[in-house]
Structure 1
Amino acid sequence: MTEEEIPDTETPDGEVPSSEIQVDFDTNLGEIMNLSAYNGSSTTSAIPAVASETWLKQFDTKTTRVWVQLRFVYNNGNINYNYKYSGSNVPVEEALAFYSKTSDSLLVALSGHTSSSSYNMPEGDDYVNLVKETVLHYKRKFPKIKYIQVSNEPDLNKETMVTYYPVYKYYYKGLNSANAILKKEAEDAGKNYSPILISNGAFTSNVPNMLDYAETFLDAYVADSDITKRLDFFSFNNYAEADRPKEVLTAKERIDNLMQSKGLPKIPVFISEFGAVGGSSLPSGLTLAETVTLWPASQLTKAYYFYEGGIDAMFNWVISHSSLVQKSQLLDLENATASPYGNMLVLSKMFADYGTRIKAESDLINDKGLGVHVLAAKKMDKGMTVLVWNYNWRYQKADQDVTVTIKNIPVSQFGENLNAKVYMIDSKNNNYYINKSQTSLETSFELSKKKASFMQIPLKLERSSVALIVINK
Structure 2
Amino acid sequence: MMLLLAVLVAGVAPTKAEPLARAEAAAPTPATVSVDFGDEQGRLPHSERNNNFHLVTTYPEQRADDVAFLNQQGLHGDVYRVWISNPNAPAEYNVFNECHLATRTCDFSKLDAYLTQAGSAADSLLVNLNPTEFVQGKRPFKDLEPMVELILRNLKKQYPRVKYVEVFNEPDWQFYGSALHDGRPADQTTLQPGGLYRFYVPFYEAVDKVNKGLRRSERIQVGGPALSFLDPKWLQPFLDGYAADKDPRKRLDFLTYHSYLKWDDTYQVPTFYKDDLRMVAPDRTTVQRWLKERRLPEDIPSFITETGIYPGPASDDTDPRNDYLRQAAGLATYSYLYANQPHTRMFNWVVRHRDNERKDELVTRTPNGPLTDTFTPYGNMMLMQSKMKDTRVSAVSDSRKGDNGVYAMASKDKTGASLMVWNWQHTNDDSYRATIDMSRLPSGLRHGPVRERMFRIDQTTSNYFTNPDTGGLQLVDQKTIRPGSSYTDSIDLSPNAIYLILLEAV
Structure 1 position 175, deviation (Å) = 2.6
Unaligned runs of at least 5 residues, structure 1: 1-17, 85-90
Q: Is the partner of 1:421 in helix, strand or coil?
A: strand
Of 45, 52, 77 in structure 2, the residue corresponding to residue 40 of structure 1 is: 52
Report the CA distance shift for 1:347/1:225 in structure 2 as closer, same or farther (over 3 A): same
Query: Counterparts in 2 of 1:359-438, with a 5 A limit?
Result: 359-366=394-401, 368-380=402-414, 382-394=415-427, 396-409=428-441, 413=445, 417-438=449-470
| 1:86-101 equivalent positions in 2, closer than 5 A | 91-101=110-120
Report if the CA contact (8 A) 1:28-1:357 is conserved.
Answer: yes
Deviation at 1:30, TM superposition (A): 2.9
User: For 1:90-144, what per-residue CA distance to the aligned partner results, in whole angstroms no more than 9, with x for missing partners?
Assistant: x32221111111111111111252469xx97421332221111111121111111
2:167 aligned with 1:150: yes
Tell whether the 8 Å contact from 1:82 to 1:93 is kept in structure 2 after alignment: no
Alpha-carbon distance in 2 for matches of 1:196, 1:59 = 24
Q: How far did residue 25 of structure 1 move?
A: 3.2
Deviation at 1:220, TM superposition (A): 2.8
1:234 equivalent to 2:255? Answer yes
Q: Name the amino acid aligned to 1:104.
A: D
Across the aligned residues of Structure 1 and Structure 2, the Cα RMSD in angstroms comes to: 2.8
Change (3 A) 1:292 1:221: same
What residue number does 1:345 align with? 382
Q: In structure 1, how many angstroms separate the alpha carbons of the residues matched to 2:397 and 2:82?
A: 37
1:335-379 C-alpha deviation (Å, 9 max, x unpaired)? 22111111111110101xx2222222110123x432101111223
- When normalised by structure 1's length, the TM-score is 0.83
The 3 A distance-change label for structure 1 pair 142 and 409 is closer
Could you tell me whether the CA contact under 8 Å between 1:384 and 1:470 is conserved in 2? Answer: yes
Does 2:400 align with 1:355?
Answer: no
In the TM superposition, what are the counterparts of 1:278-289 in structure 2 within 5 Å?
Answer: 278-283=311-316, 287-289=319-321
Q: Offset at 1:243?
A: 2.5
**Contact in 1 for aligned 2:310/2:359 (Cα 8 Å):** no
Q: In the aligned structure 2, how far is the partner of 1:81 from the partner of 1:412?
A: 55
Q: Aligned partners of 1:328 and 1:280: how far apart in 2?
A: 13
Contact 2:463–2:472 (CA under 8 A) maintained in structure 1 = no
1:272 partner amino acid: T
- On the 8 A contact 1:449/1:455 being kept in 2, the answer is no
- CA displacement 1:400-458 (0-9 Å, x = unmatched): 22221223446884566554211111111101133222242220223455545433322
Matches within 5 A, 1:141-290: 141-157=158-174, 158=176, 159-161=191-193, 164-180=196-212, 183=213, 186=214, 192=216, 194-205=218-229, 207=230, 210-240=231-261, 241-266=273-298, 267-283=300-316, 287-290=319-322
> In the superposition, relative to structure 1, how do residues 407 and 200 fare at CA in structure 2: closer, same or farther (>3 Å)?
closer
Matched, 1:61 2:89: no
Contact 1:121 1:127 in 2 (8 A): no
Alpha-carbon distance, 1:165 to partner:
2.9
For 2:393, the aligned partner's letter is: I
Q: Does 1:126 align with 2:143?
A: yes
Do the aligned partners of 1:136 and 1:178 also contact (CA within 8 Å) in 2?
yes
Give the direction of change, closer, same or farther, for the CA distance of 1:362–1:286 in structure 2 (3 Å limit).
Answer: farther
Letter in 1 for 2:305: S
- 1:223 & 1:359 partners in 2: Cα distance? 41
Q: Which amino acid aligns with 1:29?
A: Q
Q: What is the CA–CA distance in structure 1 between the aligned matches of 2:137 and 2:387, rounded to whole Å?
A: 48
Q: Is the 8 A contact 2:363 2:374 kept in 1?
A: yes
- CA drift of 1:63 comes to 0.9
Quick check: 1:198–1:231 contact (8 Å CA) kept in 2? yes
**What's the CA shift for 1:257?**
0.9
Task: Judge conservation of contact 2:258–2:306 (CA < 8 Å) in 1.
Answer: yes
For residues 52 and 401 of structure 1, the distance between their equivalents in structure 2, rounded to whole angstroms, comes to: 37
Number of residues of Structure 1 aligned to a counterpart in Structure 2: 431
SS in 1 for 2:288: helix
Residues 321 and 261 of structure 1, relative CA distance in 2, 3 Å threshold: same
Q: Does 1:30 align with 2:65?
A: no
For the residue of structure 2 that corresponds to 1:443, the secondary structure is strand
- Alpha-carbon distance between aligned partners in 2 of 1:335 and 1:99, rounded to the nearest angstrom: 16
Paired residue secondary structure (2:203): helix
Please list every run of 5 or more consecutive structure 2 residues that lacks an aligned counterpart in the other structure.
Answer: 1-29, 177-190, 262-272, 365-369
* TM-score, structure 2 as length reference: 0.78
- CA-CA distance at 1:29 after TM superposition: 2.9
Matched-pair contact (CA < 8 Å) for 1:74–1:121 = no
Deviation (angstroms), 1:56: 2.1
| Secondary structure, aligned partner of 2:314 | coil
- Residue 312 of structure 2 aligns to which amino acid in structure 1? G
Picking from 74, 79, 104, the partner of 2:96 is 74
**Letter of the 1:269 counterpart:** S
Counterpart amino acid of residue 391 in structure 2: T
- Report if aligned partners of 2:455, 2:500 keep a CA contact under 8 Å in 1: yes
Change (3 A) 1:73 1:31: closer
Distance, in Å, in 1 between the alignment partners of 2:336 and 2:75 is 18
| 1:338 match: secondary structure | coil
SS in 2 for 1:402: strand
Which residue of structure 2 lines up, in the alignment, with residue 293 of structure 1?
325
Deviations 1:268-306 (A, max 9, x none): 1111111112111113x5741111111111111112111
- Kindly provide the amino acid, as one letter, of the partner of residue 83 in structure 2: W
CA distance in 1 between counterparts of 2:143 and 2:171 reads: 22
Which secondary structure state, in structure 2, belongs to the residue aligned with residue 378 of structure 1? Answer: strand
Letter of the 1:128 counterpart = E
Which residue in the other structure is 2:17 paired with? none
Deviates more, 1:194-203 or 1:331-340: 331-340
**Matching of residue 52 in structure 1 with residue 66 in structure 2:** yes
Further displaced range: 403-412 or 138-147: 403-412
The residue that corresponds to 1:6 in the other structure is none
